[in-house]
Amino acid sequence: MHQCPIFFRFDVPGALAVVDRTIGAWFTELGWGDRVPAPGERITLDASTHAVHVARVDRGTGRRSRRFTLACRGGDRQADRKPGPAPGGGPRTGNTDSGPRTTTITLDVDRFGRRGWVLVREETEAPPTRTPRIAAALASALGARDGAHPLTQGAPIVQTPDVPDLIGLLCDPGRTRPLLVVGTDHGFPVRKLADLVAALAADAEALLVARVLDAPATAQFNQAVPDALRVGPGTGAVFPPPESLASEGHAAPEAVEGGFPARHSVIGADRMVSDEYGLRRELWHLALHYARANPLPTAVEEADARLGRLTDRCREAQPAPEPATPAPPKPGAHVAPAEKTPHAPAGAQPGGPLGPLGSLLGDILEDVLGDRTIDTDSLENLRVVARRGNRRTREHRRDRGEIRRLRHELAAAHRTIDSLRTEQDPAAPDPAPIRRNSPAQDTRPAQAHRPQRGHDHAPDTFAELLDRLAEVPRVQFTGDPQPALRLDRQSNSRGYVHKTWKALLALSDYAEARSSDCGPPGVHNYLTHTPPGCRGFSVHDHAAVESDTTTRAAAFREPRVLPVPESVHPDGAVFMGGHFRVGGGSTVSPRLHYYDDTGSSGDIYVGYIGAHLPNQSTN
């Protein structure tokens, strides 16, 4: 069997959700629709194809590993290309063989669901002729990286400001892919040349990196590299990865000048135009050679081996049925009519000719109908129950959508009321509901926990807000500042900043009130019954917890597992379901997620300020 391995790392929020969407689209493209197996499940897709999905969670580190396997004993379901001419000329080079093919996708992500790696292996009887489409799709969706640089698609045009990045990519010791660099001059049509180079590297997508330099960038590149590595107009240079040079013994340390490769291959301008098909084949074989030669990290091999053993156990526990395919009748031959299914006698036990499948079907009938008898009547009753359940599920979803819409309208009405109250009484610091505190709380002096108001003036940008967080007592920001800084690009960012600042001040006053035992426990209770003299926030724009779907689904829960000091939690991160709605009415809908630790450390930890995190509606 011939093997085509593709390995890359990634760093993207919500990586598991991205992988699920990409694999779901791949199954749909292959004609299997939404029949993606769940973790621990083996699905027989047809007589020759089955899929297995296994998952593992490391309780010590919180890392999550998954492995998808799609095995086909024959047929052209997984043909990588449709019939027809290839872009740029030349015959199709996709895998059109109908032999056995096994595609395995192994991935591993950290406990935050952001950083990890992917390993795609495809095994075929015939030699592979291009990168599997699922590997290219995952690399594009996850923003794959090779070493310290992104793994780009096609052949981007490099201009003068991009030359230092290209030099860094060329000298990157972690680079594992060959690098194709094509130079130009003022007389070359750069755009057409870039399209030609992209077509040459299309078969080796995700296994080869290509760049086309415009005329000024070519001159700057040739000045920065040694004379032996310069590229001429219309010519290309293929630089192998550094590790392969060392392993092949071609690059002694003293032979490398300034970190540059010691050797490379040159592609003439004439061949690039006249021998497109041969050059495309040569680049593919070169990229495949380095992909097979580069050893995988030890941690990757160990994780892949563990998931492989889980896959084998899943296959043994759920053996694939062997459906009998009757031979088609000869033309003119008499075909006997199908016999009707006889009614089984009452009390008939499942099994018999159905074997384990009959026992499972009997269990289902007993759970749903209260009778294990397998006959046409019971199966018809089971279908009626299933249809009724589907109808009720649709009605429930429709009602849930209507309830969500009414809640949004109610929240908008409450916000309008709050704004009108503020306009009527501009001297009031914040519209707070009527006090419903107990008499014991009312007798306590409000000034005992009233914070200083020297920082009431709201900042105008999120950059200023992050700088002024030190002014807010008992509130610590432990998250990534980049999502908040990206909000400054929005047209209504100033409103987002003011509302975020208002939420931070309310959290600060809540923590101060809790430290002096003068306020109700819980942020939501505090906002509902804000003590006199304390700053509040509209309770309708606050959620104390997330929905059950968001809390339970790994793709939605993991982006909300945000960092805190290890003194707060030994893992250095906690699930932050409480959040403020600091903006709405757009695709951004900013949120502020926090963790209430006033019961222990006395502080509030803000783990995220930025655009709405993924959930069932935004996914």
Residue 73 burial class via C-beta count within 10 angstroms: exposed 0-12, middle 13-18, buried 19 and up: middle
> Residue 589: which of 560, 555, 553, 613 has the closest Cα?
613
Q: How far apart are CA 430 and CA 527, in angstroms?
A: 11
- Stated as kind and residue range, the H or E segment containing 511 is helix 493-515
Mean pLDDT (whole number) for 183-191: 85
The number of beta carbons lying within 10 Å of the beta carbon of residue 462 is 26
The number of beta carbons lying within 10 Å of the beta carbon of residue 47 is 15
In this predicted model, what pLDDT tens digit does every residue of 360-375 receive, in sequence order? 777 787 777 767 778 7
Phi/psi for 447 (5° steps) reads -70, -15
In this predicted model, what pLDDT tens digit does every residue of 211-220 receive, in sequence order? 999 989 999 9
Name the pLDDT band for 46 (thresholds 50, 70, 90). Answer: confident
- The pLDDT > 90 percentage for the chain reads 28
What's residue 319's pLDDT? 55
3-state secondary structure of 269: helix
Lowest mean pLDDT among 46-55, 80-89, 175-184, 528-537: 80-89
Across-strand partners of 49?
A: 46, 72
Does pLDDT of 125 surpass 50? yes
Does pLDDT of 294 surpass 90? no
Q: Is-contact 176 146, C-beta < 8 A? A: yes
Q: Between these two residues, 203 and 33, which has the higher pLDDT value?
A: 203
Q: How far apart are CA 259 and CA 255, in angstroms?
A: 9
Name the pLDDT band for 619 (thresholds 50, 70, 90). Answer: low
Name the pLDDT band for 82 (thresholds 50, 70, 90). Answer: very low
What's residue 481's pLDDT? 93
Q: How far apart are CA 562 and CA 112, in angstroms?
A: 7
In this predicted model, what pLDDT tens digit does every residue of 266-293 receive, in sequence order? 888 788 778 888 889 999 999 999 988 8
- DSSP states along 410-472: HHHHHHHHHHHHHHH-TTSSS--PPP---HHHHTS-GGGSPPP-TT-SPPSSHHHHHHTGGGS
Q: How far apart are CA 396 and CA 380, in angstroms?
A: 24
Mean pLDDT (whole number) for 46-50: 83
3-state secondary structure of 304: helix
Pairing of strands 179-182, 209-213: parallel
Does pLDDT of 484 surpass 90? yes
Tokens, residue 242:
């550094």
* 165: CB partners within 8 A, 6+ apart: 149
What's residue 98's pLDDT? 57
* 330: CB partners within 8 A, 6+ apart: none
Does pLDDT of 6 surpass 80? yes
What's residue 356's pLDDT? 65
Q: How far apart are CA 557 and CA 609, in angstroms?
A: 16
Name the pLDDT band for 475 (thresholds 50, 70, 90). Answer: very high
The order of strands in the sheet holding 542-543 is: 475-477, 603-610, 591-597, 579-581, 542-543
What's residue 365's pLDDT? 74
> Residue 32: which of 46, 21, 42, 22 has the closest Cα?
46
What domains does the chain contain, in order, with CATH numbers? 1-143+288-321 (no CATH), 153-274 (3.40.30.10), 429-610 (no CATH)
What's residue 422's pLDDT? 66
Report the mean per-residue pLDDT for the chain: 80
Mean pLDDT (whole number) for 233-241: 89
Q: Where are the beta strands (DSSP E) in 29-80?
A: 41-46, 49-57, 64-72
Q: How far apart are CA 98 and CA 80, in angstroms?
A: 12
Name the pLDDT band for 466 (thresholds 50, 70, 90). Answer: very high
* 390: CB partners within 8 A, 6+ apart: none
Q: Is-contact 95 131, C-beta < 8 A? A: no
Torsion from C-alpha of 544, 548, 551, 555, nearest 10 degrees = -140
Mean pLDDT (whole number) for 205-231: 90
What's residue 436's pLDDT? 37
Does pLDDT of 92 surpass 70? no
Q: Between these two residues, 353 and 457, which has the higher pLDDT value?
A: 457
What's residue 116's pLDDT? 93
Phi/psi for 17 (5° steps) reads -65, -40
Mean pLDDT (whole number) for 236-250: 69
Q: How far apart are CA 362 and CA 377, in angstroms?
A: 13
What's residue 576's pLDDT? 94
| C-alpha triplet 4, 8, 11: angle, nearest 5° | 155
What's residue 423's pLDDT? 67
Does pLDDT of 599 surpass 50? yes
Does pLDDT of 344 surpass 70? no
Mean pLDDT (whole number) for 490-517: 91
